[in-house]
Structure 1
Amino acid sequence: MPFHKGENRFIYGLHDPGGEHLMIVNGQAKGWVLVTEEIGSEANDRGSADYRNIADRGLGVIVRLNQSYGSNGTIPREERYPEFAQRVANFVAGSQGAHIWLIGNEMNLEREQ
């Protein structure tokens, strides 16, 4: 099975960048990096990120997009869904080095709502 840049055949990884060197063994990348991003919910925000520094090493990249963290809500209240959806679309369209995206974190936990 072929893998695309930003993917890896191993199933384990890191939560947040910073330990990538631990997953490169004898020059071979062995794992994934989950990057979390707080992107807000402003529909006109075109900010994005570049994950090529991870993908170019052969590691898999997964990006989790949160409106915010904790009691501010990992996703917004329902009335802000359209703005958040546009913000997510803007972020994804402008970002490089990743193509696997998660929206929100543990929405079943009260502290994340």
Structure 2
Amino acid sequence: MPRELFDSPYIFGLHDPGGESIMAAAGRRGWVLFTEAVGSDPADTSGRDYRPWSNQDFGIICRINHGYGSVGTLPLPARYPDFARRVANFVAASPGCRIWIIGNEMNHRQEWPESAAGVRTA
């Protein structure tokens, strides 16, 4: 049975799934961090099921990005309301996770979206 908060008593884990068998074999089920690019379509109600990992007692963290690279970890400001709705839809449709990070390293230029003029903006 998964822990109520889908958390882990350990402080270590993996960035992206794929090596959790190592933690399981050691009897130390730490954290698994997932990254998801969800876009900003407010009509998109899709999500992801994290229960295959949380039901094995791994702690689950999901980082939600608008996109990667020049798409921007967050969208341009005009799309913030749509992105917020999309994030809410994704969270509502994603069982097995209760810890969410919005965006990645917004202080790094490579995570900024390109404006229509091709100039990166923050």
**TM-score interval for Structure 1 and Structure 2 normalised by the shorter chain:** over 0.9
Aligned to 1:100: 99
Aligned to 1:62: 61
Q: Conserved in 2, the CA contact under 8 Å of 1:5 and 1:55?
A: no
Q: Conserved in 1, the CA contact under 8 Å of 2:20 and 2:29?
A: no
Where do 5+ consecutive residues of structure 1 fail to align?
Answer: none
Q: Please report how far the alpha carbon of residue 4 of structure 1 lies from its aligned counterpart in structure 2 after TM superposition.
A: 2.2
What is the CA–CA distance in structure 2 between the aligned matches of 1:29 and 1:18, rounded to whole Å?
15
What is the CA–CA distance in structure 2 between the aligned matches of 1:16 and 1:38, rounded to whole Å?
13
Q: Please report how far the alpha carbon of residue 82 of structure 1 lies from its aligned counterpart in structure 2 after TM superposition.
A: 0.1
Q: Percent identity?
A: 50
Where do 5+ consecutive residues of structure 2 fail to align?
Answer: 113-122
Q: Please report how far the alpha carbon of residue 5 of structure 1 lies from its aligned counterpart in structure 2 after TM superposition.
A: 4.6
4+ long deviations beyond 2 Å = none
Count of paired positions = 110
| Structure whose residues are more often strand by fraction | 1
What is the CA–CA distance in structure 2 between the aligned matches of 1:36 and 1:83, rounded to whole Å?
19
Aligned to 1:15: 15
Question: Which structure has the larger Rg?
Answer: 2
What is the CA–CA distance in structure 2 between the aligned matches of 1:97 and 1:30, rounded to whole Å?
15
Aligned to 1:43: 42
If the length of structure 1 is used for normalisation, what is the TM-score? 0.93
Aligned to 1:88: 87
Q: Conserved in 2, the CA contact under 8 Å of 1:5 and 1:58?
A: no
RMSD of the TM alignment (CA)?
A: 1.1
If the length of structure 2 is used for normalisation, what is the TM-score? 0.86
